[in-house]
Amino acid sequence: MTAPRAERLALALLTLGAVVAWAAVPTYPNYDAYYHLVWGRDLLDGIAPGFETYAAPTQHPLYLALAALLSPAGEDADRLLVLVTVLSLVALTGGAYALGRTLFGAWPGVLAALCVGSSFAFALYAVRAYVDVPFLALVVWAGVLEARRPRRGIAPMGVLAVAGLLRPEAWVLAGAYWLWCLPRRPARARLGLLVLAAAAPVAWALVDLAVTGDPLFSVHATSGLAEELGRERGLGNVPRAFVEYLADVTRPPVAAAGALGIVLALRRFGTERMAVPLALLGAGALTFVGTGILGLSILPRYLTVPAVALCVLAGYGVMGFTTIEKSVWRERWRRGAIAALVLGAAFVGLRASSFDRLRDELRFNERTHEQLAALLEDPRVVAGIQRGGLTFPTYRVVPDARWILGVGGDRVAARTAGAGCGGIEVYVRGSRKEVTRFGEADGVRRRTNRVPRGAVLIARRGPYLAFAASGDGCGVAAHPDAG
């Protein structure tokens, strides 16, 4: 079987496996993705999306458009969004292989794909419909296009422009790529690339302006939310977080192999040949530092671009011996690679709990989502919501409830936002994980999950308890010191 045919067969099998897994193990989107689904449905109904809603996530224009396109599927749109991100993980894995193969050869490409495809972090992001996975797939394939024909121009920049509508890290990459393409290009071509590079941030600002009146709303709102929720932020926390998060996303053996790979690759190929992985590493680091300067939350997700670059470089650091002629040096490298693979396999074995955690998280997500849906479908709860709305102790499942019920933001609210008593007040009781995930939130007091006197329990599903409004007050409105 020829190499191209084997590659196509492997991609087809990987795609089939991903679809089967998606169908067999129901998972549901995360908080941010549910808000985009709600906003997309609002757009189709002619309603402006509520970017300024309490604790709303940062909007991502292309994800918003995708959510709107999926909305006609009705209640199945959330599962379809998960399918998109699961298939995006397949595309990301394929892109890692293609980039590794283009730069170094087939076996380094195979190991690069293995490192990306087996990452607990990337798998979790995919099954929870995080915007990061399709974004990363686009960025990696832009890198493949560039690696195959250096300073190509339009095609990689166009892909980066699309990626820039998903996450702003692509803006840094697009700007750097424009500078990279300047030599030996006429002024008209330079201008065309500049227009493409600027398209995503301009479009993002125009969406913010149209909806909120502030073209920089996403920056202001993200920084304000990080402060309100007490998340780690600030330039002083960046160095430690950079090392910890990068090792966590890639896993320490892969990070170490990636660091070795960049040294070996630079010595053999030079900086120009390594422009793509260097750009991914540099732009990712620069963006991460930028989040600290701007006062945004410092999160592991912001290091996914350099994490993918490290996976590709790890492929060369371990399997690069397959690309050189037989020699003493090649034999030493081969032995070192065998030792590295054995140690890596041992590390995976010791960290098998990561896969257990993923399985447990999927089951937890499925169970609690279905319990929430069952609660909201209870006729007594439906009647109570129709009389006076619905409140939760925190913002955590507000978008989920809005999506399930198909109602506007004025009908579902969080008591941490100062929402008054509604017709139905939901409280959370159960395991520590359930209470922490749904009944509490960083930066707020716990009184909003304390059942008031006189409240009448009318339904319970799992950790969710629905009470009829007591009239004695609830949440922040009843407890000024709740903060």
Shared domain for 301 and 321, answered yes or no, is yes
- Predicted pLDDT of residue 337: 87
Q: Are residues 415 and 323 part of one domain? A: no
- Nearest in space to 87 (alpha carbons), one of 39, 30, 126: 126
Under 8 Å between Cβ of 297 and 233: yes
At 364, list the tokens.
């937890």
Full domain range(s) for residue 298 = 3-351
Res 420: pLDDT: 59
Do residue 189 and residue 289 come from a single domain? Answer: yes
> Within this chain, do residues 187 and 207 fall inside the same structural domain, yes or no?
yes
Specify whether 87 is located in the same domain as 128: yes
Write down which residue in 283, 316, 351 finishes a domain. Answer: 351
Residues 244 and 332 in one domain: yes
What distance in Å separates the CA atoms of residue 85 and residue 135, rounded to the nearest whole number? 10
User: Over pLDDT 90: what percentage of the chain?
Assistant: 60
Q: For 222-237, what is each residue's pLDDT tens digit?
A: 654 544 454 555 566 6
- Domain endpoint, select from 302, 325, 351: 351
Same domain? 307 vs 238? yes
On whether both 114 and 19 belong to a single domain, the answer is yes
Cα 403 to Cα 238: distance, rounded to the nearest angstrom:
36
Tell me the per-residue pLDDT of 300-347, one tens digit each, with 9 for 90 and over. Answer: 777 899 999 999 999 999 999 999 888 888 888 888 888 888 887 777
What is the per-residue pLDDT across 409-425, written as a single tens digit (0 to 9) for each?
Answer: 778 999 887 755 568 99
In a shared domain, residues 233 and 291: yes
Domain closes at, from 351, 379, 414:
351
- Total number of domains in the chain: 2
**pTM of the shown model:** 0.90
Helix extents (H) in 295-431: 304-319, 328-350, 353-377, 379-388, 398-405
Q: What is the pLDDT of residue 235?
A: 61
Helix (H) or strand (E) segment spanning residue 222: helix 217-228
How is residue 408 annotated by DSSP?
Answer: -
Same domain, 346 and 364: no
Do 252 and 275 fall within a single domain? yes
Residues 6+ apart with CB under 8 A from 153: 181, 185, 189, 193
| CA-based max dimension of the chain | 83
Question: 256 with 397, same domain?
Answer: no
